[in-house]
Amino acid sequence: EAQVTQNPRYLITVTGKKLTVTCSQNMNHEYMSWYRQDPGLGLRQIYYSMNVEVTDKGDVPEGYKVSRKEKRNFPLILESPSPNQTSLYFCASSLKTRTFYNEQFFGPGTRLTVL
Amino acid sequence: RKEVEQDPGPFNVPEGATVAFNCTYSNSASQSFFWYRQDCRKEPKLLMSVYSSGNEDGRFTAQLNRASQYISLLIRDSKLSDSATYLCVVNMGLDTGANSKLTFGKGITLSVRP
């Protein structure tokens, strides 16, 4: 089944404790992205990657890191989480073609709480 | 002006009603447009792409007005299963050939009652 998976789905942690949220897709998509969704603010892009070893900042990259060493994986790293990073996180992927009408496929989301 | 702005909600309509959502975008160079649907506590999923000529998929019709920079979604004969949040999404098109800069509206919540 074609899908985007994220782990963990739920995480409660404490301020300053490094964590990684994994994202993996099995559709051979070049493009991957991370979003956070907060009440009243909608979905905001954190980082995106056009291909292996190519990453770039989205709208809200502060406090986050990413890497793209393999095509299928795009982990999100919080080196020192803070309470303002409590949010619902989505990973997404899509093909990279010459059209701008590429559907983005989202993972199921990771609900993170930082105490 | 916000990059992507949607009608404030929520919308509460009876089954069978016709409901219309509007969305405006600020960047006239935007390349492509979409409506995504998000069920409670779930991931967003593509509902429809929005083309310049307008497009229809069953009870759903999407339209684009580039001159006025707005997108609309019309749902006819509403069903209980249409209850969800509808996200207007605009691709600013910063990189050719990929959705590198998708900007999401905050979403409109639709509740269809029996």
pLDDT of residue A28: 94
**Cα A102 to Cα A24, A30, B2, B81, distances in angstroms:** 18, 11, 24, 26
- Number of other residues whose CB lies within 10 A of the CB of residue A115: 10
Residue A8, pLDDT above cutoff 60: yes
Across the interface, do A108 and B98 touch by the CB < 8 Å criterion?
no
CA distance A4 to chain B (A): 11
Which 8-state DSSP code applies to residue A107?
-
Residue A115, pLDDT above cutoff 80: yes
A7: its two tokens: 């782990």
For the ranges A67-71, B42-46, B51-55, the lowest mean pLDDT is seen at B51-55
CA distance A115 to chain B (A): 21
Better-scored residue on pLDDT, A38 or A40: A38
pLDDT of residue A85: 98
Residues of B at the A interface (Cβ-Cβ below 8 Å)? 31-32, 41-46, 49, 87, 91, 93, 95-107
B32: its two tokens: 């492509």
* Burial category of B76 from C-beta neighbours within 10 Å (exposed 0-12, middle 13-18, buried 19 and up): middle
- Number of other residues whose CB lies within 10 A of the CB of residue A89: 22
